[in-house]
Structure 1
């Protein structure tokens, strides 16, 4: 979104989980002044955002407007110095009160929080989760899915009928996870409110709780999240890995938990960074971080049908594929049906799209969940609450509640669709086609995949296609979400697809 560059006026539970070898921990004191992160903006020629990402900068927004690319990015003083050498002169993003991110954060903290709570404080997120589980033992089971670098339990709540009696994953399951990135407080709050909503409305949601499991991990990065509640650290994104081993947390430390998964790890330098000081630093190796191991272990153990992994700020509604552009997953028709389109998105005001069409990522949760575990996985990038608020969402109950409520129908659609994802349930009224062909005009390589995306319920299908105007060819494809054959040709055109029949004939579609 474009902004002017001028100042705006104006419990005790038996918690199972993996054990990690603990090492001496770095101090989590406030960052030195030069290392404190702010949100900046600049206008530059199109393509600048991609270049900056490849250099390790944390570009969080980009938009082409009037021939210029409006960019919002986080930066510490060293980043500003580097941007200056590249000829850029970024200005701070300011909220309607004229405050920068750190100024707004300081003002919120000084007044005492109305909404926000850290993870480990008395009455914080961990304590709330334990209290909820203790009060709702028939439908809530709380467990630790692993420990952070600093030894905190990463808590997950399973909500379903007979939660403590039935094995995990015995029903179709949906995971609502949040706050891999420490600074994204609104993600935690939306996830917590969804958990509380499900419990408060257990009577009307009885059928859903009988048939499915709903899982909640409101804070996937507890150490980092707690760190953002300390002076000067509000925009910290990563975990608290002491990369240089100097016993302190500074700008060169931390690993991005959402770039540390094994799938497509280090695919390129645009979707994640090799630079330890970068906010998208992927870490020393795939799944090097205990926070990543915890989430990956949960995904593997339960086998979720669906996942919403809440982040901020957008407003965006993203789904795989994220590691390279113009690449659709075989489940794209399901993603499109549930997510909606620009004219009618599943969450009002959000931009729905393939993740890589907006920005590329690698080693991220969505692609890991989808390609490794067959989980349909979305990233809702929640809104900022006001123009210029960025990551410092207002400490305002009405605004926080509104942000939760506008995404509630989509969150429930996803859970209701877990029973049969191929025929998704959604408030938009969208359906999935029986099959979709993938036509093209010219093959620029030695061979070209000719394919159709077909529902499993159809069983085997017959693909009819034509190469260079020659006689039509027919290939029998196995049943599945997607099936393909390879045509070795310079040009090829798909001419039809048919479901299996005793005497298959060319289709008309």
Structure 2
């Protein structure tokens, strides 16, 4: 823990704008005193790069940390959020905002050197790993392409190479592989499980896990593994190992021995974003190539903040140089738009976007203010099941921190297909291969406890993707060689858009056209689709109370008053069913004073497991801490005498309880437009189909125009 620092009180989100934003941007990308002949800044010697856990137990506090423009690792606990500090300037930014932290990795460069040595030792010590491919080291991008080509050649009837519609910023194709029985028949009506890797360039294990599951399915099918046989017959797996092709190649090909690349701004191995140049980039930073330019690795857009679903909200930066920059508009980047088009043209009933790191299985919503998804029980059940296999923590994405513009938030809320993010491994963006890839995939880790790892987690996702209980089916009959299509076009809003000056602007609107085709072979057909009504408009999940809320609890203040800077503790009980059903517990603590600077108490609440569940550390009096869905058990309130507390200014408090919020459903129903066309594209029949999750609708003769009633 760092020593006591000047206190800066936090009462809301910090969003830098105006002159301060300009200063911040400059400090991020121009820390140098001189430049080289090519215009590349020459940095003065800097402190060691560290990974730290910032004390930020609440979602709002984590959003404040992100708003400082620091580099998040995607790892957070109930205690706080982890970020990379690139020297003392980043540490000063945290101090000035009033945050303290624990050092998790004291010297990131030294850690990476040890991991590289471990990779070399592992590759030299084994001829073949336990992975489906037998791979022993991280792939280059060329090796991803060659492996997918090899699989396509080896299993021609079970695979179909796929190239996404858009090229990357630098003109690269985004390639993947479709895997199923009779793979060339893309209009087969099967549900789709989409597995994605490397939205973030430096997260190499995410690509490895994606491709390994492709190997897994193909090898298991040919070995007559009945689980794989059922899945290959009834499901289409699409793998796209590398979404951020440009950034990944730069990160993967960076020379670890380059003395200039010591985890500073110009260490391209740590590149996270793509290669776009924002319209907000100052002119002096627009020159040079993506892998050698005056802004270094900080130029580009975070693809996992760019999807249009709830774009522009919390957890994404308005600053072009931030590692979480959201892009110039919703869905503005060709790579994220390419994934969006792929999902829009297929019945993707399940999507997993792989990332590193945190040992997490994340589900929608990604923004707390969105409210729980209408499918929360099913999403949580599957998330918990996958987490039981890999040993990760299953939680809603917003419980980590707000993440507007993420892949699964657009995919789920707009298409209805289940969407998850996996944060692979406990530490490191691309740590030792034996641990982050081999161990995490096969489940040979302490966390998984031998329960199967991500291999089994992906199987469970695939089985759910194929299960019609979790999507919808349209049945009917049609002559041979007809195409049955379901489609709809709709307009959706982004979040209210945060502005660089800290204000909030109006929502923007974007259009999606969702289409799924099925080519009939004559007679009866079954077509798997997602529900016709978007989860965005269905409503929000809640639960009806099963008992009254608990009665108010008066907090017991221990005898005496701790000295300034010291703490005291008291406990309170939270009841559970059948006695009480508490949707929220609200801790409110006050003390006699109107002088916030002279007399100030801070409070922290620990749950029955000893982990922090909330805090009140502002200048407010009373301090109020709201805990959603508190589990039954003994809670601990930690009271810190921050300033001036004495017998005349001691605290009192209580805990009140509220019932859970009931479900809120809109009652709105949207319809698929179903059409039947012949080979020449002539429409033979058309009708609207309204279908909910888990339902099957029989449309009869899909190619016969219905007679209208007079």
Q: So what's the TM-score if we normalise by structure 2?
A: 0.51
Aligned residues: 403
Distance across 2 between alignment mates of 1:296 and 1:140? 22
The answer for the alignment partner of 2:67 in structure 1 is: 54
Counting only pairs closer than 5 Å after superposition, residues 329-478 of structure 1 correspond to structure 2 as 329-340=373-384, 345-384=387-426, 389-396=427-434, 400-405=437-442, 406-422=453-469, 438-439=543-544, 451=664
The answer for the alignment partner of 1:214 in structure 2 is: 237
- Given candidates 102, 105, 127, the residue that maps to 1:94 is 105
What residue ranges of structure 2 are gaps of 5+ in the alignment? 3-37, 124-135, 256-266, 443-452, 472-540, 550-582, 584-660, 670-689, 695-710
The SS at the match of 1:340 is helix
The answer for the alignment partner of 1:277 in structure 2 is: 321
The answer for the alignment partner of 2:268 in structure 1 is: 233
Q: 1:315 to 1:449 in 2, by over 3 A?
A: closer
The answer for the alignment partner of 1:116 in structure 2 is: 138
Contact 2:542 2:662 in 1 (8 A): no
Q: Give the CA deviation at 1:346.
A: 3.3
Q: Give the CA deviation at 1:141.
A: 0.4
Contact 1:330 1:453 in 2 (8 A): no
Q: 1:253 to 1:104 in 2, by over 3 A?
A: farther
Q: Give the CA deviation at 1:200.
A: 0.8
Counterpart check, 1:167 vs 2:186: yes
Q: 1:104 to 1:290 in 2, by over 3 A?
A: farther
The answer for the alignment partner of 1:292 in structure 2 is: 336
Q: So what's the TM-score if we normalise by structure 1?
A: 0.70
Distance across 2 between alignment mates of 1:149 and 1:37? 33
Counterpart check, 1:194 vs 2:219: no
Q: Deviations over 1:263-304 (max 9, x none)?
A: 11102xx32110112111000111111111111111101120
Contact 1:129 1:157 in 2 (8 A): yes
Q: Highest Rg: 1 or 2? A: 2
Distance across 2 between alignment mates of 1:450 and 1:109? 51
Q: Give the CA deviation at 1:44.
A: 3.3
Contact 1:453 1:481 in 2 (8 A): no
Q: 1:190 to 1:282 in 2, by over 3 A?
A: same
The SS at the match of 1:281 is coil
The SS at the match of 2:466 is coil
The answer for the alignment partner of 1:82 in structure 2 is: 93
The SS at the match of 1:73 is strand
- Please, what is the CA RMSD of the aligned residues? 3.7
Contact 1:156 1:217 in 2 (8 A): yes
Q: 1:274 to 1:409 in 2, by over 3 A?
A: same
Q: 1:399 to 1:453 in 2, by over 3 A?
A: same
Q: Give the CA deviation at 1:356.
A: 0.9
The SS at the match of 1:154 is strand
Q: 1:213 to 1:37 in 2, by over 3 A?
A: farther
The answer for the alignment partner of 1:246 in structure 2 is: 287
Distance across 1 between alignment mates of 2:371 and 2:138? 38
Counterpart check, 1:156 vs 2:176: yes
Q: 1:400 to 1:140 in 2, by over 3 A?
A: same
The SS at the match of 2:162 is strand
- Given candidates 299, 304, 314, the residue that maps to 1:258 is 304
Q: Give the CA deviation at 1:481.
A: 5.1
Structure 1, 53-62 or 84-93: larger mean CA deviation: 84-93
Q: 1:180 to 1:423 in 2, by over 3 A?
A: closer
Higher strand residue share: 2
Contact 1:238 1:255 in 2 (8 A): yes
Q: 1:272 to 1:32 in 2, by over 3 A?
A: farther
What residue ranges of structure 1 are gaps of 5+ in the alignment? 6-27, 425-435, 457-477, 483-509
Q: Give the CA deviation at 1:252.
A: 3.8
The SS at the match of 2:237 is strand
Q: Deviations over 1:38-89 (max 9, x none)?
A: 552045364543311133333333334xxxx444202434534533544557
